[in-house]
Every structure is written in structure tokens, then in C-alpha cells.
Amino acid sequence: MLFKRPQRRHAAMPVDIVDVTGIGSAALLGSDCPGLRPDLSVDKGDRVRAGQILFADRNRPQIRFAAPISGMIQSVEFGARRSLSAIVIKAGAPDIPAETASAPDAADMRKTLLETGHWPAFRSRPFGRIPDPDAVPDAIFVTMTDPDPHAPNPRLVLAGQQAEFDRGLDALQQLTNGAVHVCQTNGQDPVTARDRVQVHSFPDRHPFGLAAAHIARLHPQGTVWTIGYQDVTAIGQFLQTGRYSAARVITVSGPGYPDPHPARTVQGAAIADVLAGLRVKAGGDHPVRLLSGSALTGWDSAYLGRYHNQVTVLDASPPAPRSTLLSRFAGGSPSGPGRALFPTGALEHALPTDMPPVPLMRALSVGDIEAAERLGCLDLIEEDVAMLSALCTSGADYGSLLRGILDDLEKAA
């Protein structure tokens, strides 16, 4: 199977951001915090304000989740074992008295971020989960690189917000005794290194733009947290104004969307509303699939995921039948489930860390926890093995296989 490495397209993209209005609904998704069992503070029909706490983690009640928009709770949906599926908010005036925002407590940054719903912006390594409220990381990584084609350009996103971003970086230093690593690409506006803020440059192509590649090079041992640069800016804005901001600049792109363009919306926004706000009918007369995230790492969703900066529009028309040497040799579709694994040279450059891909793929495929751990699976999360799934002839979803092993290792820890 041949794979053509996507090229970065920042230079070809428009230099202005479209402000998307008319977002009719937004959601907090259980897929962003799998397995979480919510302790709800609201119910269907309640009016809420942007930034109001909607629920807490039942097992870690200090971790709270805030509403991205004002409106009415339209639905509260649960999955297996009462885990959260989605809380959907219909946009509108909250119809409840506005509260005077209290000054953020800079003296206790951990408490402030927990109480105001900013804590879920962090993800810990190993395991890739929201960190425990009392955990202290050995380092924090701020990711300003993105290997996905059409990802928003941080220089464009942060234009006019450098002070808020710097304020957010200062806040991160209060959460760790180690360094705050800012990982950006060459050509971005320089971030000023100071105190324990260290600035590094990486290519923004796969796999070098992934956080796992940065961690493997700069801090391969211990517990680290990662956070996106837009979340750092949101923290800084809150500390300056006392107002919760769920603003998010994303890029809408894909074969089913004719004009890739950066757009400013909110976390959890209904993807159909984003497309309508851009006034372009995706796909024309052809059916489309809407992904939160990129074509490589995203998933089918009606709403924008918490950690996604892209929406991908794919053509949903059935593909034309094709016959290839590989499909005949494998006994069917070249990427169908249950097919054989054929090592290719491209696999050697698919992982962000220095580990052999084929032994890892085999360990994940058969659920060999000991072998996967020995090979270094604790250094990875789903996004880090997405390229393996794209390149592998077996059709296996290595992200799901990896998550199953990580969950087992986390339970045994």
C-alpha cells in the first residue's frame, strides 16, 4: 500500500479567521473523558451560563466541567454503566441572573483551575487521561505543532493574544517543579524563554509534530502533562478578565469541503452549525461524513471534540470497487478486517518514538500486555499510532487496541 505524506498548507491558507455565528448548540462529549461517571449539577431544561459548572467526576469530584455556551440543557445522554455520552446545550439567553466574577486566585492556581473547569485541558502521560487533582508532573508540554494537514496556524490564532498566552504559561509554572516546554515550529512568532519556560522547535509534519515525539526527546522519563496552546491562552484570558472562554479556532477541510478555511467557534460546537455559518454546502449534492478531528485521528461526530482543532468533511459515497494485487493476495479488500499484516518501509517512520513498529503492532493485535509494555506502549496514546492503522494492510484499529492495553495497565498500576 502506497502512502503519500501530506504536505503542510499553512502558507496557502487564507490569512483571516472567519467568526462563525449562529451556533445553535454545543456539547460536552463522553468520548473526551471515556469512562467518566458524572455527578451532575444540572438537569434537562435547566438554564446555564457559559463557564457554569455542569458536572464533576464522581470518582474525583475536584475535577469539574464547564458549559462552553449559555443556553438550556437540551439533553443529558448516558452510555454503558452510566458513563457520560453527551450533555447538549441549546444556545440562548441563560435567563438567570449574571454573577459578578470573582478575582482568580493566583496564589492557588491548582484550586482555581479545578474549580473553574479548566483542569480537563490537561492530559497526562502515561495513559493519556485527565490528571489527578493532587498530581504534580515532572514537566508540562505545550503543543504548538500539529502534523495534520490544514491544522490552524498558531501564528494566526495567537495574533493579538500573546499577552494572554504568556500569562497562561506563567500559570503552568505553578503546577510543576520542572520545566514548561513550549514546542513550536520554525517560523512561528518566538515565545520568550523565561524562568522555567523552555522553547523548542520541531517540524510540524508527522510524526515529529506529535507531543510524544517531543516528550521522547526532551523528557522521556517520569510523568508529564500536555496541553494545547489555545487552552493555555484561555487560562491566561481567565486570569486577566475572570471570564471563562471556550473560544476555539479550527480549520474545516477535507475532500467534501471545497475551501479550507480557519474559523473561530467554541468548544463542542455543533459541526453542522459551523458549516452553515461558513455558508458553504459541504459536498454539494453528495452525501458526506463529518469528522471531529483530522481524517487520520478524528471520528464521526455531530459535535467538535474537546481536544480537536479540525473538522474534516469526507465524501460518504460508496467507493468504486477496485482490484489490486494486494487485495487478491490478501484475499479481499486491501484494508478489510482480519487481513494479514504486511510490513512496509513506510511503517518505519510511522511512530513518534524510537520503537520497532511491527513488533508493537503484533503485540497490540494479540493483546500481549507484557510485550507491549516492554516495547514502550506507555509512551503512546491513540493519536500516536493512528498512522499505523492508516498504513497497515490488516485493517486493524491500533488506537483502540492500544487503549485497551493502557486501560489494563492503568488498573494494575
Per-residue pLDDT at 335: 40
Per-residue pLDDT at 362: 95
The helix/strand/coil state of 227 is: strand
pLDDT of residue 103 exceeding 80, the answer is no
Contact 145, 183 (CB under 8 A): yes
Q: Which cell numbers hold the place of 21? A: 455565528
Contact 393, 380 (CB under 8 A): no
Q: What is the pLDDT of residues 281-306, one digit of tens each?
A: 665 667 788 999 999 999 999 999 99
User: Of all residues in the chain, what percent carry a pLDDT higher than 70?
Assistant: 83
Q: Where are the domains of the chain?
A: 18-91, 106-241, 262-315, 325-412
The one-letter code for the residue type at 376 is: G
The helix/strand/coil state of 165 is: helix
For residue 322, what pLDDT band results from cuts at 50, 70 and 90?
very low
Could you name the CATH architecture of 18-91?
Beta Barrel (2.40)
pLDDT of residue 252 exceeding 50, the answer is yes
Q: Which residue has the higher pLDDT, 119 or 6?
A: 119
Measure the CA angle with vertex 22, ends 242 and 119; round to 5°. 35
Across the range 206-214, mean pLDDT stands at 94
Residues near 276 by beta carbon (within 8 Å), at least 6 away in sequence: 22
Neighbours of 4 (CB within 10 A): 6
**Cα 296 from chain centroid?**
12
CA distance 241 to 413: 40
| pTM score, whole prediction | 0.89
